[in-house]
Amino acid sequence: MNFPGLGDDDFRAGFVAVVGRPNVGKSTLINHFVGSKVSIVSPRPQTTRHRILGVVNRPGAQVIFIDTPGMHVGQKKAINRVMNRTAVSALAEAEVIVWIIEAGQWTALDQNVLQRLESVSQPVILAVNKTDLVSDKAALLPFLNDISSRRELHAVVPVSALRGDQTDALMTEIEPLLPKSPAMFPPDMRTDRGDAFLVAEIVREKLTLRLRQELPYGLTVQVEQIKRDGERLDIHAIIFVERSSQKGIVVGKGGNVLKAVGTSARRDIMRLLDTSVHLELWVKVKENWADSEQDLRRLGFDTDAG
């Protein structure tokens, strides 16, 4: 397979780490650039738990975005420590860093990210997201000036990841900072994650959207089987919770929550895999899995990051 950029001395390719506090729009931005959902999104903080690559092929460049968990403080459980290590390790991999904050909002968690960026030598582009929620755009100028004074930045770009506003301007800032290189991934590749991971994440996204405030943080999904059966795929997945009391929340009265989640997830999985799907979900208790690095490793978390 031919990779883009072979024989082209002006072609560029490289990694771009997208970092920021939880729930600031990192995954939404990457999904927009990739053109498909490679990372799930929800209103709940810390939805992204893993390092996920989103590959974007442009006429003169291959931009490889690294989606990361939101950097946060208060590392009470092993899963929190692993997510923070995963986010920090992405900084070392990247040629460019896109730091996302929310327009008009500055929190202690943003300050924490800023402190973690103090030691990086790569160029940092500040993407000020959710500008579509700001009615008085003129009021943004003092905010942008204040943030810009806090550290050296290559560029500051106000964007709306949800609507795609100014995302072309952001990409224009990113591309020239990448090293000259042929593409690193095939032109048809959009992410480094396989079908089992993406299916598990879709199920977790639907649980997040369905349960919202009731959703146990100690919840994860693991696909046990993807098997072709004639013209359809049979998929079996397990939803792990930490306590027996959480199992009832996920199953719901008469199984209504699990059924609704399965129906919604199956539709997205069919679109993703472009085939008919039969999805079976089970809920199991694995006590305190989120506070065990051994369990996290078995469930696919990168416990060696950083």
CA of residue 205 relative to chain centroid, distance: 11
pLDDT tens for each residue of 170-179:
999 999 999 9
pLDDT tens for each residue of 136-151:
888 889 999 999 999 9
Q: Is residue 195 within 8 Å of residue 19, measured between CB atoms?
A: no
C-alpha distances (whole Å) from 204 to each of 71, 265, 277, 301 are 20, 9, 17, 15
Residues 34 and 146 in one domain: yes
Residues 30 and 171 in one domain: yes
Of 114, 144, 177, the residue at which a domain comes to its end is 177
* Mean per-residue pLDDT, 34-52: 73
Query: Distance (Å, rounded) from C-alpha 247 to C-alpha 216?
Result: 9
Q: Going by C-beta distance under 8 Å and a sequence separation of 6 or more, which residues neighbour residue 183?
A: 3, 4, 5, 6, 11, 13, 57, 62
Residue 185 lies in a domain: no
Tokens for 130, please give them: 């959710």
Residue 183 lies in a domain: no
Q: Which of 10-14, 41-45, 79-83, 120-124 has the lowest mean pLDDT?
A: 41-45
* Mean per-residue pLDDT, 112-136: 92
pTM beyond 0.75: yes
Beta strands 12-20; 61-67: pairing state: parallel
Residues 165 and 206 in one domain: no
Residues 25 and 158 in one domain: yes
Domains contained in the chain, number: 2
CATH of the domain at 204: 3.30.300.20
> Does residue 298 have a pLDDT over 60?
yes
Angle subtended by helix axes 167-174 and 26-34, to nearest 10:
80
With residue 262 as reference, give the H or E element that holds it.
helix 256-273
**Listed residue (82, 107, 90) closest to 54, CA to CA:** 90
pLDDT tens for each residue of 181-212:
999 999 889 998 889 989 999 998 899 888 87
Residues 216 and 159 in one domain: no
* Mean per-residue pLDDT, 278-306: 82
Query: Distance (Å, rounded) from C-alpha 109 to C-alpha 57?
Result: 32
Residues 143 and 83 in one domain: yes
Owning domain of residue 161: 12-177
Tokens for 89, please give them: 């390790």
